[in-house]
Amino acid sequence: MTERVRSKHTEANPLTVAILGAGGFIGSHMVEHLLEAARYAIVGIDVSSEKLEGISGPAFTFHQADVRRAPELLDEVIRSADVVVDLIAYANPSIYVTDPLEVFELNFVQNLEIAKRCIAHRKRLIQYSSAEVYGKTAEGTAYIEDTTDGVLGPVHKQRWIYAAGKILLERVLYAHGAAGNLDFTIIRPFNFIGSRIDYLVPANAIGGPRVFPHFISALLTGGPLRLVDGGYVRRAFMHIADANRAFQTVLDQPALTRNQIFNVGNPENDLTIREVARLMMELYEELTGKRPTSELVEISGEQFYGSGYEDSSRLPPDVSKLRSLGWAPQHDVRATFRDAMRYYLCTSTESAASKDGRGSLGRPSDPLRIEGALINSGLGQD
């Protein structure tokens, strides 16, 4: 195993990290993690700061802006940074089929513009991609970054435009790296779970965000836990704290991660969506002392997400490349879901107390407020 390299940067000599998409699920946790390390100057950009509520410090500067409409700001932030972290993407399976051109425009065209600016200013780029790039591939026992083929569905299944855009971006970055134009690292996340993920929805909602927000919303409202196509596809889930440590490992070892691709996930936390539903119902009772009133209800993928949707099981990730750098996931599947659920259950209770006139305990905004659309940050793993 390669010995972990300790960062030479300190509070007096900070590394400047630009996080594009800092206001999303992954970005807000990344900002929080880097602030706690106290050796980074962090500059964030996003269209919303809601998930950053309560996360602040003199080392963090936030610009509320849409990078597509603020090219001068984007260029200045990249020019002034030592490392650029690109998290910008639509992360909502419904949008993949209802507005595929918008998905491609943001997830590929805008991200390519960011890469071009990194090339122009000679900046290191850490690009968050997606486990979706493996597509429908089911051969073998795990996805391996440098050898596993990617197989996507037919063109009329527009759900795959998300994965196609991510694949194309990876290939362009790789070509620039091979040509000596760009110092990059690509991270392929596998279903990160934690507080502040996506947004919650009302009872009986269809479409919208990823599986965890749907299921915790159902448990909080008594609505059904909808199992798309029976809930038999598999996903490997990982605690957001383990994701932060994986990012730290990549950030601290630029020489060993230069022009490399890394799976970031926990292969031990591999479940079917039906198993996730049952686990969350069990944990709900464990955490609240009450039996959930929600029921499991099957629904077709096209009925839930819309025409053009298609899905398939995924293999768990092979994470031996990242393990060789000293990282390993630390949270099992129960701890991963328990911690995420506890956040929403506590927030819901405190919100109800506030409405009863007993005040708030300082948690983020009411989780039952319904957002109109997912902002352009975060990752698209369902």
CA distances from 244 to 26, 178, 327, 343, 360 (A): 8, 28, 11, 18, 29
Domains contained in the chain, number: 1
Residue 357 has a pLDDT of 39
Of residues 2 and 368, the one with the higher pLDDT is 2
Residue 58 has a pLDDT of 96
For 285-309, how does the pLDDT look when each residue is reduced to its tens digit (9 = 90+)? 999 999 999 999 999 999 999 899 9
For 213-268, how does the pLDDT look when each residue is reduced to its tens digit (9 = 90+)? 999 999 999 999 999 999 999 999 999 999 999 999 999 999 999 999 999 999 99
Q: What is the DSSP letter of 362?
A: S
Q: What is the pTM of this model?
A: 0.90
* Nearest alpha-carbon partner for 86 in 146, 145, 24, 148: 24
Residue 138 has a pLDDT of 84
Binned at pLDDT 50, 70 and 90, residue 8 comes out as low
* Nearest alpha-carbon partner for 118 in 31, 168, 177, 69: 177
For 306-332, how does the pLDDT look when each residue is reduced to its tens digit (9 = 90+)? 899 998 889 999 999 999 999 999 999
Binned at pLDDT 50, 70 and 90, residue 198 comes out as confident
Least confident of 105-119, 172-186, 357-371: 357-371
Q: How far apart are CA 363 and CA 346, in angstroms?
A: 8
Q: What is the DSSP letter of 317?
A: B
Q: What is the mean pLDDT of residues 6-13?
A: 63
Q: What is the mean pLDDT of residues 71-76?
A: 98
Show Cβ contacts of residue 199 under 8 Å, excluding neighbours closer than 6 positions. 208, 209, 213, 370, 371, 374
Respond yes or no: is residue 284 known to be catalytic: no
Binned at pLDDT 50, 70 and 90, residue 10 comes out as low
Average pLDDT score, the chain? 89
Residue 312 has a pLDDT of 87
For 35-64, how does the pLDDT look when each residue is reduced to its tens digit (9 = 90+)? 999 999 999 999 999 999 999 999 999 999
**β-bridge partners, 16:** 41
| CATH code for position 128 | 3.40.50.720
Q: In this prediction, what percent of the chain has a pLDDT beyond 90?
A: 80
Task: State which of 147-161, 302-316, 337-351 shows the largest mean pLDDT.
Answer: 147-161
Quick check: is 259 in a domain?
A: yes
Quick check: is 345 in a domain?
A: no
Quick check: is 353 in a domain?
A: no
- Determine which helix (DSSP H) or strand (DSSP E) holds 227, and give its type and residue range: strand 225-228
Q: Which of 162, 284, 309, 343 is catalytic?
A: 162
Quick check: is 88 in a domain?
A: yes
Residue 9 has a pLDDT of 62
Q: In this prediction, what percent of the chain has a pLDDT beyond 70?
A: 88
Residue 2 has a pLDDT of 42
Show Cβ contacts of residue 354 under 8 Å, excluding neighbours closer than 6 positions. 360
Print burial letters for 44-83: b (CB count within 10 Å at least 16), e (below 16): bbbbbbebbeebeeebbebbeebbeeeeeebeebbeebeb
Quick check: is 326 in a domain?
A: yes
Of residues 206 and 379, the one with the higher pLDDT is 206
Tokens of 318: 């092979």
pLDDT at 366 over 80: no
Measured in degrees and rounded to the nearest 5, phi and psi for residue 331 equal -110, 125
Residue 363 has a pLDDT of 35
* Nearest alpha-carbon partner for 325 in 266, 248, 380, 224: 248
Tokens of 224: 């059904």
Q: How far apart are CA 128 and CA 146, in angstroms?
A: 16
Q: How far apart are CA 59 and CA 39, in angstroms?
A: 9
Give the residue numbers spanning the domain of 109: 15-192+239-266+316-331
Residue 202 has a pLDDT of 87
E-state strands within 97-233: 124-128, 184-189, 192-193, 225-228
Quick check: is 76 in a domain?
A: yes
What is the Cα 309 distance to its own chain's centre? 20
Q: How far apart are CA 377 and CA 87, in angstroms?
A: 6
Quick check: is 222 in a domain?
A: no
Residue 7 has a pLDDT of 55
E-state strands within 47-122: 60-64, 83-86
Quick check: is 260 in a domain?
A: yes
Binned at pLDDT 50, 70 and 90, residue 70 comes out as very high
> Is 374 strand, coil or helix?
coil
Residue 349 has a pLDDT of 64
Show Cβ contacts of residue 366 under 8 Å, excluding neighbours closer than 6 positions. 347, 351
pLDDT at 346 over 60: yes
